[in-house]
Each structure stands twice: as structure tokens, then as C-alpha cells.
């Protein structure tokens, strides 16, 4: 925002200030300091309205322009700081649950890759591990969800990593070994890590770094030959294709030999029809299209010697066509298949599958076939929402196929792109400030003359002759003159003392504020994803359940579109209580939506047993509550820590004599709570639904039907009645909006009447199930600060 206010004048007194330039040349309005024909110079001064008070005093600091720009800098700076503080530091979130090693999971220009596991009856029918519905109590994942290996799980094991990618499986009976590239945040190069699983890839034990060289390593293709285990990592920076042999599998390796003296990348070997075939890409040649080149070599042994295919390079085509390898070649039903990378939109955008029809020493032909992989639909909230560029498939002893795939939620170079967008936004905000200054008359000149014309007080005749004869200097001064006429043409166009003028200025101010926030978000912010929070290095999923009816259909559409994009949502169940239900296809959802139509309009339907729910965790969330996916993910993480509790976002304190239902403000003022409203709360579907529909709760359910209220209060009493320990847990949301306030479809329109009914429920439930008054848990009891 380095703009100066320019006022005409020299040391020639008031007359010069009024219109004359230095040297006594008379002038008119055009003869101001913005006129390069005058030997004037640019200074900061008080506004014109103060010139009659201090006609001879020129201030180099406290001018109207300076004060205007300083004020804008302060205001917009505060807006940016507050916005960044709220959005990125998240003071309401606290810290401590991510479990991320302080030396790992740093933002990396190459991406934020992680690894997921897939199962299928064939290599072309793979489904993510969460579809298998594997429950693991030790990892508190019900079910286990992708990704299963991340920078966090590797870093927490003591091996700092920014990302993990290029996964390859090696099978020893029912034990799986996973070799992968891990980006070391200290050396900023790839190493080869290894993990072990004994439960088909549901959980992994990190074993350590299998191979670490002085250069970048990736794509650790592992195979066995004559009782030995070998690895061919990508080491193109060394300028050669190197073969390593395991001394003590899987952590000790030695260089066996140099296979090919070429910087091949992503190389694989397969034994097919009596010959060994090596597929790789050489990007170093003149005229080579990066990520669009493929070469084939053949040998009678994987140890070589290797001879080039007569048609090399097989491909030198567009990078989107899948020439570069994207995993291990494999044989299925007697046919050879190859995975390739589509790098068209961004590096590693997706994996493509090819069926090899002809493979000989002098011919090669392949055709693309469907991969059978469903593209993620949650965008950056999905661990593989932006790209996936590597897939390795193996057949287990059971006959089932397993695949490991890497994925990234951001495209290649995302940090650099965000930085450029951020700088452009900040520059645009500065331009808006200048326009505001011109319209208000605070900025009178855009380019000081001493920036574009030579000036140093008195100039020699030789210098004047040079300036007149120098074409560039002349053109530069003319350009400055034309630019400096802009303020004169703009000033007065907007009358700031009228409503229309004020509206224009207000709009410009808001545009500048928006540009400032956009710049801060892109320069200093993250990648825009609302990621899930792992627990003990593992992820899981939950079912979202809401209850509604026909008058609130507009709420439901907005609700489903928003929450279906949250990372850990597996399914949305809509309990339809009244009216004609919509079709699931009418709702814009990234996950399956099931509409459960009820025969009776009862609030008890919210907690009805549902055998079709496949997750242990259920988020009971009213259809008129909107909050961020990040809040939802934090709540889910806390519930996984305490699955026997009601974990939610709206606390209440039940106390007093007689009992009276009060809002959250009362709980805050008394610094504690003993109830969580289930309009926004996580519960264990088996525990909660079982208790609610037990015989003991029958009288309570009848009261709920009578009042058409208090179902959430009843569940809290049932939990408290079943345990003497803490049964509720509060998580503070960043923000929450009740969308029913914008319509006439609110269930509880009269707050006073609503609270009165609930107070009667409290007294009846206390008689039935005991008191809650003797229970109280303070806010700010969690180490992560999520319950402030």
C-alpha cells in the first residue's frame, strides 16, 4: 500500500503552492505536482482544508494521505489477524489429540499422501476397508476406516514423516508387510519404510526405515526370486536402476547390483510367459515427455542382463494417457494387466488399468479396461479426494484380493498455488484501498514525480539536455503524468455525503476486507480440508441420524449436502415422521442416504433400534442445526475415547428445588453441567437404543408421547441411572446455527412453554429414575481444551 499523497508546490511560497511550480513557472490546476513539466516534488502534507492555517508548513509525515493509508493498514490488518486467529489457531479447539509427532506431518509441496486398504473378489472390484465393516476394539474403530497408514502413525512410531506413498505389499502366509515411500521432514528426501499386519491390513505395526540412502528413494517394488527377497526402489537421482537384496528381512538390505545404467523411475519386473519383463520410464532424454514415457526391457532372469525392447520408447505421449507405472503388473485369469498414472490435471491424478494384449521382444499392445474403483466424492475432506496414483494388488490365501492405494486430499503444488492466490488477493486489497483513497480525496497522486523523473534540486544544463533527448525518460514522465490524472478524473464521481455514495464506499470496504481474509487464508492457512481426527493412529466412521417431516424438507436438503461431505460420515439415516417422504435421489449426498418412514409421529422414533445401522457410533443431530465438519469430527474423536458416554455440543445443568429446565447460560454461570442434549450428540447405538427401549424406560416413553417433548432428557436419565460414573461429555463447537429460526417450521416456537414442559419432565423423570442434581462436571476438564 505504498501510495503517497502528492501536493503541488516548491519553496516558492503560497503562490507556488496555489498553482505555480518551482522556478516561478505559472500554472493552473494542471500545473500541480502531478504535472511533470514542473520541477515540483512530492511531499506529504495536511489536507487542503488546513492549508490556510499553516500555509508555509509542509509536513513529511502527518499528511491526510498518510493517515488514511495508516488507518487502512491498521483496520485491514486487524481484520486479517482476527480472521487468521479464529480460523487457523482455533482457540476454541485447544490442542493435544492429534497425536502428531512435532517433527512430522508438516505441509509439503509434494502433497499429504497416505495409504488405504481395499478388498474385493477380484482386482477390479475393490472396496475400501470400511465397506468390510471390520471392528477393532484395540484401536477403538467401529468400523476401521481408511487411511490405515499416515504420516501421523509413522511419526508417532518414532520415524518422522511428512507423507507416505507408493505402497507395495509382500506376503508371508497370512502376514502382510507394507513397504512405502516416507518423506523425511529433516532431510526432505524419500526413504523406504516398512510396516507389518497380521489382521489383513486392518491395523499396522510400524517396524522402521528399511532403506535410507543419500539420495531420494521411492516406489519400493519388492519380490522374491530363488528364495531371496529383492527390492528395486526408484533411485533416478543416482542415475541408475539399483537392485537390493534382504540380509535380514525386512529391515536390512544390501546393494546386489546395478541392473541398468539409466535413471528409470517407477520400475517393476514380472515373469510372464517364460520371460522377465521390466517396465520403467526414463525422463532424462531429449524430447521426452515427462510422465508420458514408457520403456520395456527383457531378460531370462530378474538379475539381468537386460535388453531393451525394439520399440523403445513404447510410449512418448501425453502425460494423461497412463504411460508411467502406477503399481505392480499382475496376472488375472491368464491375462497380464498394468497400472498406469494419469497425470493430466495434476501429477498422479488417478490410476488407470490396461490389459496387455501383445508382449514380445519386438511388439507391444495394451488396451485400457475399467479399474472398478469408485472416485471419492467428499473433495478435500476425503483422504484421497484430490488424487491417487499408485495401486498394488495381491491375492490372499483365502482367494480374496487385497489392494493398497495411496491418496492425497490436495493436488500437486497446492501450497505454492495457495501462496500465489493469497499474494494476488492481498495486492487486490491494496488496490481497493487506493481506490477508496482516491474517491475520498485522501490520495491525490498515484506516482510521485521523483519516481519517474530525475530530480535533485537544481539540475545542470547537461542533465536537462540528457532528459530532453532521452526517449525512455520522456516516455516515463508522460506515463507518470497520465497516471496522475486518474485521481482528478475519479475524484467527485462518488458523493460520500449521499446514501448512494456511502453505499459504494461501504461495498468497496467490504470487498477489501474479503480480499484481505482471502489473502490471509491462502498465505497462512491450511489446505481447506476439515479432516478427521485419528485416535491411536486409526480412523473410523459413524452414522448420522436425523428426524424430520415434510414441512422441513428445505432444511433437510441443505443438511444432507453439508454433512455428507464430512470425512467420517458413513451413512445418513432420515427418520421420516410425517408427510410424503422425498426420494433419496432428491438429496445431494456424498454418502448413502436411507429414509426410514415411521408409522407414527413420535419423538421416540429417534432412538428406535435399527439393525441396518452398521456403525457403533451414531450422531443424533437435529435437521435444523448447522455446524462445521471440524466440530463434528472433534465430537466423534471424543466419543471414541468414551463410547459409554453421551458426547455432545449442548450442555445443561439440572439443579435447584423445584427442578427447573434452563438454557446453557445457567450451566456456564454455575461452571458445570450434568446433561447433554441429544439434538446434537454422539451415542453408542447398541447401548443408547437398548436402554431407551428397555422395559424400565416404558413409562418415560409414554410421557414423551404425551408431551411430545423430552426424549433427550429421558435418555440422559437412563444413562445416569445405569452408572455411578460420568455419563456425559461436552465438546464446544466453533459455531452452530439453528436454521429453523429462518422459517416457520420450528418445533419449539414458544421457548417459555417449551421450557415449562421440560421442567415438568424433570420432576417426573426424577421420580422414576433418580436425581441428576447430585452430579456435576466442570467445564475445561479436558487436557485438549475442547470443553472450554
Q: Is 712 a catalytic residue?
A: yes
Q: Which run of H or E residues covers position 308?
A: strand 307-308
β-sheet bridge partners, residue 252: 248
Q: Which residues have a Cβ under 8 Å from the Cβ of 689 and sit 6 or more positions away? A: 607, 608, 609, 610
Please tell me the distance from the alpha carbon of residue 132 to that of residue 402, in angstroms, as a whole number. 12
Q: Got the DSSP string for 719-764?
A: HHHH-SS--EEE---S-EEEGGGGSS--S---HHHHHHHHHHHHHH
Grid cell 488399468 in the structure block, residue: 353
List, in sequence order, every beta strand (DSSP E) within 384-497.
391-395, 401-407
Measured distance between the N- and C-terminal CA atoms of the chain, rounded to whole angstroms = 39
Please tell me the distance from the alpha carbon of residue 398 to that of residue 533, in angstroms, as a whole number. 33
Greatest alpha-carbon span in the chain: 107
Q: Is 185 left (phi over 0), alpha (psi -120 to 50) or beta?
A: alpha
β-sheet bridge partners, residue 648: 681, 730
16: which DSSP letter?
H
Helix axis angle, 711-722 to 698-707, nearest 10°:
160
Q: Is the peptide bond before 83 cis (omega within 30 degrees of 0)?
A: no
Q: Which residues have a Cβ under 8 Å from the Cβ of 354 and sit 6 or more positions away? A: 322, 337, 338, 339, 340, 366, 367, 368, 369
How many other CB atoms are found less than 10 A from the CB of residue 779?
Answer: 15
List, in sequence order, every beta strand (DSSP E) within 144-274.
144-145, 164-172, 175-184, 189-197, 205-211, 218-225, 228-234, 241-248, 252-260, 264-272
630, 712, 784, 787: the catalytic one is: 712
Q: Report the sign of the C-alpha dihedral through residues 478, 479, 482, 487, in that order.
A: negative
Annotated catalytic sites, by residue? 712
Amino acid at each position: 500500500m505504498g501510495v503517497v499523497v502528492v501536493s503541488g508546490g516548491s519553496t516558492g511560497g503560497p503562490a507556488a503552492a496555489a498553482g505555480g511550480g518551482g522556478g516561478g513557472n505559472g500554472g493552473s490546476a494542471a500545473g500541480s505536482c502531478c504535472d511533470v513539466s514542473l520541477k515540483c516534488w512530492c511531499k506529504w502534507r495536511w489536507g487542503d482544508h488546513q492549508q490556510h492555517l499553516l500555509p508555509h508548513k509542509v509536513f513529511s509525515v502527518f499528511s491526510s494521505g498518510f493517515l488514511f493509508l495508516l488507518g487502512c493498514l491498521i483496520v485491514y490488518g486487524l481484520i486479517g489477524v482476527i480472521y487468521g486467529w479464529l480460523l487457523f489457531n482455533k482457540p476454541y479447539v485447544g490442542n493435544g489429540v492429534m497425536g502428531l509427532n512435532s517433527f512430522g506431518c508438516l505441509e509439503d509441496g509434494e502433497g499429504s499422501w497416505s495409504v488405504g486398504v481395499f478388498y474385493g473378489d477380484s482386482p477390479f472390484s475393490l472396496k475400501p476397508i470400511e465397506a468390510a465393516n471390520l471392528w477393532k476394539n484395540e484401536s477403538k474403530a467401529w468400523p476401521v476406516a481408511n487411511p490405515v497408514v499416515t504420516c501421523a502413525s509413522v511419526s508417532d512410531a518414532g520415524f518422522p514423516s511428512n507423507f507416505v506413498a507408493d505402497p507395495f505389499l509382500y506376503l508371508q502366509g497370512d502376514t502382510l508387510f507394507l513397504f512405502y515411500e516416507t518423506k523425511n521432514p529433516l532431510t526432505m528426501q524419500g526413504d523406504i519404510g516398512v510396516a507389518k499386519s497380521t489382521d489383513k491390513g486392518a491395523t499396522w505395526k510400524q517396524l522402521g526405515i528399511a532403506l535410507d540412502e543419500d539420495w531420494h528413494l521411492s516406489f519400493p517394488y519388492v519380490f522374491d526370486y530363488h528364495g531371496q527377497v529383492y527390492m528395486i526402489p526408484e533411485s533416478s537421482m543416482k542415475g541408475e536402476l539399483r537392485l537390493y537384496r534382504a540380509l535380514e528381512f525386512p529391515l536390512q538390505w544390501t546393494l546386489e547390483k546395478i541392473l541398468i545404467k539409466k535413471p528409470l523411475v517407477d520400475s517393476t519386473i514380472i515373469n510372464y510367459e517364460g520371460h522377465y519383463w521390466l517396465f520403467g520410464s526414463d525422463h532424462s532424454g531429449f524430447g521426452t515427455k515427462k510422465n508420458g514415457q514408457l520403456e520395456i526391457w527383457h531378460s531370462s532372469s530378474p538379475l539381468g542382463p537386460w535388453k531393451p525392447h525394439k520399440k523403445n520408447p513404447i510410449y512418448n505421449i501425453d502425460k494423461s494417457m497412463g504411460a508411467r507405472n502406477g503399481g505392480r503388473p499382475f496376472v488375472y485369469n491368464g491375462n497380464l494387466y498394468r497400472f498406469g498414472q494419469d497425470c493430466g490435471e495434476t501429477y498422479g491424478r488417478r490410476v488407470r488399468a490396461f490389459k496387455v494384449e501383445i508382449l514380445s521382444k519386438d511388439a507391444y499392445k495394451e488396451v485400457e479396461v475399467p479399474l472398478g474403483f469408485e472416485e471419492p466424492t467428499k473433495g478435500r475432506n476425503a483422504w484421497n479426494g484430490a488424487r491417487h496414483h499408485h495401486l498394488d494388488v495381491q491375492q490372499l490365501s483365502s482367494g480374496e484380493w487385497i489392494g493398497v492405494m495411496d491418496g492425497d486430499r490436495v493436488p500437486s503444488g497446492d501450497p505454492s498455488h495457495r501462496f500465489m492466490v493469497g499474494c494476488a488477493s492481498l495486492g487486490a486489497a491494496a488496490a481497493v484501498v487506493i481506490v477508496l483513497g482516491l474517491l475520498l480525496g485522501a490520495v491525490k497522486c498515484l506516482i510521485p514525480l521523483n519516481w519517474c523523473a530525475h530530480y535533485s534540486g537544481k539540475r545542470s544544463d547537461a542533465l536537462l539536455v540528457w532528459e530532453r533527448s532521452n526517449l525512455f525518460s520522456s516516455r516515463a514522465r508522460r506515463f507518470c503524468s497520465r497516471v496522475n490524472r486518474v485521481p482528478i478524473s475519479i475524484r467527485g464521481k462518488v458523493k460520500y455525503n449521499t446514501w448512494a455514495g456511502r453505499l459504494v464506499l461501504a461495498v468497496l470496504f467490504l470487498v477489501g476486507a474479503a480480499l484481505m481474509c482471502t489473502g490471509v487464508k491462502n498465505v497462512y492457512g491450511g489446505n481447506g480440508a476439515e479432516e478427521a481426527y485419528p485416535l491411536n493412529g486409526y480412523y473410523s466412521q459413524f452414522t448420522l441420524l436425523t428426524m424430520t417431516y415434510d414441512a422441513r424438507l428445505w432444511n433437510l436438503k441443505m443438511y444432507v449436502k453439508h454433512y455428507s461431505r464430512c470425512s467420517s460420515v458413513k451413512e445418513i439415516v432420515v427418520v421420516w415422521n410425517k408427510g410424503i417422504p422425498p426420494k433419496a435421489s432428491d438429496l445431494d449426498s456424498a454418502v448413502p442416504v436411507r429414509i426410514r418412514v415411521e408409522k407414527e409421529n413420535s419423538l421416540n422414533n429417534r432412538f428406535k433400534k435399527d439393525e441396518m445401522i452398521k456403525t457403533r457410533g451414531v450422531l443424533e443431530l437435529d435437521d435444523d442445526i448447522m455446524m462445521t465438519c471440524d466440530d463434528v469430527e472433534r465430537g466423534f474423536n471424543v466419543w471414541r475415547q468414551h463410547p459409554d458416554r453421551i458426547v455432545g455440543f449442548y450442555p445443561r445443568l439440572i439443579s435447584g428445588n423445584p427442578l427447573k429446565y434452563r438454557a446453557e447460560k445457567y450451566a456456564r454461570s454455575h461452571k458445570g453441567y450434568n446433561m447433554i442434549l441429544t439434538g446434537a450428540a454422539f451415542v453408542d447405538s447398541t447401548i443408547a437404543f437398548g436402554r431407551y427401549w428397555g422395559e424400565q424406560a416404558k413409562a418415560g416413553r409414554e410421557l414423551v408421547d404425551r408431551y411430545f417433548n423430552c426424549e433427550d432428557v429421558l435418555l440422559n436419565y437412563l444413562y445416569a441411572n445405569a452408572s455411578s460414573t460420568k455419563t456425559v461429555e461436552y465438546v464446544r463447537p466453533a459455531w452452530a446455527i439453528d436454521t429453523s429460526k429462518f422459517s416457520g417450521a420450528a418445533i419449539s416456537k414458544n421457548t417459555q412453554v417449551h421450557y415449562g414442559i421440560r421442567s415438568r419432565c424433570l420432576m417426573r423423570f426424577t421420580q422414576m429414575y433418580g436425581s441428576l442434581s447430585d452430579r456435576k462436571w466442570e467445564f475445561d476438564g479436558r487436557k485438549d481444551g475442547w470443553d472450554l
